[in-house]
A and B are shown apart, each in its own frame.
Chain A
Amino acid sequence: MNTQTQPVVDLNEDQRDCYQELTNVAMGQAADRLARLLDAYVVLPIPKVNLIEANDLRMAIQEVEDESAMSAVCQGFIGSGIAGEALLLFNDTSFHDLSTLMNYPGELDRFAEMELLMDVSSLLIGACIQGIGEQLEIHFNQGHPVILGQHCKVEDLLKPGNHQWTKTLAIEIHYTLEHVNIDCDLLLLFTEDSVIKLNDKINYLLD
């Protein structure tokens, strides 16, 4: 590995608005699809676009550990040299409501919960990434999902110095569904070098 200086990640107001708009449109499409599939109204949030530091991420993950071991899913994505990872955090979600929504019969054991997490995260993450990709004309490939706490130890993710970046772009979407107890946060985190390429694409749209 070379020891070149880290790319400086930067974000101006126009770019921030543009990311927000982009995500809004993607979310709209995603919500529409979800509503058709789940027969439930998805409350559309205003996405938050921010530069976050590794510490902020650790705090978000810390909450997962404090709450319960099985309530977060990560999935990597990459396309046209732009890469990132989506983190879906289920905050105050009832697995019971989720199973009714997804039409899952039977008892909710550990395996059934994993199935639910996998299916719901496939939908939420997939729909959003796809929506953003379509607008930027990037075809994103997705890796296999990883359930935090089950597949990788949360405490390992929390160790300082484990993350190779200092500051990067994060898009945060807060999902809630009407009439059911489902409340989750989707965090899209891009790698530092991807942000520079993404900013180029955004600037092109802004011009």
Chain B
Amino acid sequence: MSDANIELGDIHWLMDILQNIDVGLVVLDRQYDIQLWNGFMESHSGLSPQVARGENLFSLFPEIPQDWFTKKAEPVFELKTRTFTIWEQRPYLFRFKNYRPITGRASVMYQNTSIIPLQSIDRQVNHICLIVYDVTDIAVSRADAETALQSLTERNRTDLLTGLLNRPYWLQEATREYARCQRSVHPSTLVLFEIDDFRQINVLHGHPAGDHLLKTLADGLLQTLRRTDQVCRYDGETFAALLVDTDEEEAGVFAQRIHELSSVVNQSGLPAGVSCTLSLGIARFQQDFSDSAAWIQAAETALMQARQEGGNRICIHQP
């Protein structure tokens, strides 16, 4: 590192490299006064080395918290060791604006920095060098990846036609809730419901009319749900709701609200001649259900009973 064989002429091009390298280099003395300010720093801050040199870092850049920065820098002076800051802990040290109008998608430059000790001839560290790396692209790609992952996760659990949860995800939730109920004194309730004579609607008015009905009903549902209610499109025209911490009575109120939804749906511009009524089956959690499938089966039995009694009604599973 400390090559004694660098000649004066060489210093000229070494300085050229310092000026042109695409990382920020700042040399600070013991008082945090700026001693060196390279081309990168000049370009992004708009301050020439003549202006920056001799100025105090903290008065020139009030956005750098002095306490925080000296905590990182003092060990470099004291222990001659390197310290680092990364954009995850503080997005930037110097507030440099985005400088690429086309490909730059962040408003500021994200920065990683290294602080390294500079030893003088007597092996004392009276200066430190601050190296500033532009990591905006990394930060932006990380954010992109997270957004993509989130939307994938969302998509993975959604029924595309209705926007409700899909069956596989809901079944997972039901299994989890079954396990929770076994340990809890607040039991939950399942409600299964379906549109009466849906096949008839499909046959008489075509699938687009059926789809429109499903979607209108789902939209109404989404407006009626509480935050903790988990509703999925269970199968074709059948829906399933998992009502957490809800007893039979409260579930009855919920079921009543859903039952009444059909009249709202009927007034919402369905194709002429199409009307819908709903049948619902309610099953409260019972300790003697052997698994979540048994619980769902109980709700299905209640639903089947509602259907057999002519539809357009609510039935409760009798253990």
A206 to B302, CA, bound (A): 83
Given A122-B75, A126-B83: A139 and B112 within 8 A (CB)?
no
Partner of A119 from B71, B80, B82 at Cβ < 8 Å: B71
A119 to B81, CA, bound (A): 12
A18 to B315, CA, bound (A): 80
Contact at A127–B79, with CB atoms within 8 Å?
A: yes
| Closest Cβ neighbor of B81 among chain A residues | A126
Chain A 121-147, CB within 8 Å of chain B: the 1/0 string? 011001100100000000100101101
Report chain B residues within 8 Å CB of A126: 79, 81-83
Does residue A57 face the partner (Cβ distance < 8 Å to B)?
A: no
Contact at B81–A122, with CB atoms within 8 Å?
A: yes
Given A111-B89, A122-B75, A139-B1: A144 and B82 within 8 A (CB)?
no
For this complex, 9 residue pairs linking A to B, each with C-beta atoms less than 8 Å apart, are A33-B81, A115-B89, A118-B85, A122-B75, A122-B83, A126-B79, A127-B79, A144-B84, A150-B88
Report chain B residues within 8 Å CB of A151: 88
A125 to B84, CA, bound (A): 12
| Closest Cβ neighbor of B79 among chain A residues | A33
Does residue A36 face the partner (Cβ distance < 8 Å to B)?
A: yes
Does residue B86 face the partner (Cβ distance < 8 Å to A)?
A: yes
Q: A102-B71, A118-B89, A144-B133 are in contact. List 10 more A-B contacts (CB 8 A).
A: A36-B78, A111-B89, A115-B89, A123-B83, A127-B79, A142-B114, A144-B84, A145-B84, A150-B88, A151-B88
Name B152-208 residues within 8 Å CB distance of A: none
Report chain B residues within 8 Å CB of A34: 79
Partner of B86 from A127, A130, A142, A145 at Cβ < 8 Å: A145
Does residue B72 face the partner (Cβ distance < 8 Å to A)?
A: yes
Report chain B residues within 8 Å CB of A36: 78-79
Contact at A127–B88, with CB atoms within 8 Å?
A: no
Q: Which 4 A-B pairs have the closest CB atoms?
A: A126-B81, A122-B83, A33-B79, A144-B112
Tell me what chain A mostly uses at the interface: helix, strand, loop, or mixed: helix
Report chain A residues within 8 Å CB of B79: 33-34, 36-37, 123, 126-127
Contact at B75–A118, with CB atoms within 8 Å?
A: no
Chain B 56-82, CB within 8 Å of chain A: the 1/0 string? 000000000000100110010011111
Q: How far is the CB of A70 from chain B (nearest CB, A)?
A: 12
Q: Using a Cβ cutoff of 8 Å, how many contacts connect chains A and B? A: 55
Q: Give the contact-size bracket for chain A.
A: 20 to 34
Contact at A118–B1, with CB atoms within 8 Å?
A: no
Report chain A residues within 8 Å CB of B75: 37, 122-123
Name A27-58 residues within 8 Å CB distance of B: 33-34, 36-37
Name B1-54 residues within 8 Å CB distance of A: 1
Report chain B residues within 8 Å CB of A115: 68, 89
Question: Which residues on B are within 8 Å of A, measured CB to CB?
Answer: 1, 68, 71-72, 75, 78-86, 88-89, 112, 114, 133
A151 to B145, CA, bound (A): 12
| Closest Cβ neighbor of A75 among chain B residues | B84
Contact at B88–A147, with CB atoms within 8 Å?
A: yes
Name A144-177 residues within 8 Å CB distance of B: 144-145, 147, 150-151
Report chain B residues within 8 Å CB of A130: 80-81
Report chain B residues within 8 Å CB of A139: 1
Contact at A123–B81, with CB atoms within 8 Å?
A: yes
Report chain B residues within 8 Å CB of A82: none
A182 to B79, CA, bound (A): 21
| Closest Cβ neighbor of A115 among chain B residues | B89
Given A114-B88, A144-B84, A144-B86: A37 and B72 within 8 A (CB)?
no
Given A115-B89, A118-B86: A127 and B78 within 8 A (CB)?
no
Q: How far is the CB of B317 from chain A (nearest CB, A)?
A: 40
| Closest Cβ neighbor of A139 among chain B residues | B1
| Closest Cβ neighbor of A36 among chain B residues | B78
Given A114-B88, A115-B89, A119-B72: A144 and B81 within 8 A (CB)?
no
| Closest Cβ neighbor of B87 among chain A residues | A144
Q: How far is the CB of B90 from chain A (nearest CB, A)?
A: 9
Q: How far is the CB of A158 from chain B (nearest CB, A)?
A: 19
Contact at A118–B84, with CB atoms within 8 Å?
A: yes
Report chain B residues within 8 Å CB of A37: 75, 78-79
A102 to B70, CA, bound (A): 13
| Closest Cβ neighbor of B142 among chain A residues | A151
Contact at A114–B81, with CB atoms within 8 Å?
A: no
| Closest Cβ neighbor of B113 among chain A residues | A144
Q: How far is the CB of A186 from chain B (nearest CB, A)?
A: 14
Report chain B residues within 8 Å CB of A114: 88-89
Q: How far is the CB of B100 from chain A (nearest CB, A)?
A: 23
Report chain A residues within 8 Å CB of B112: 144
| Closest Cβ neighbor of B74 among chain A residues | A37
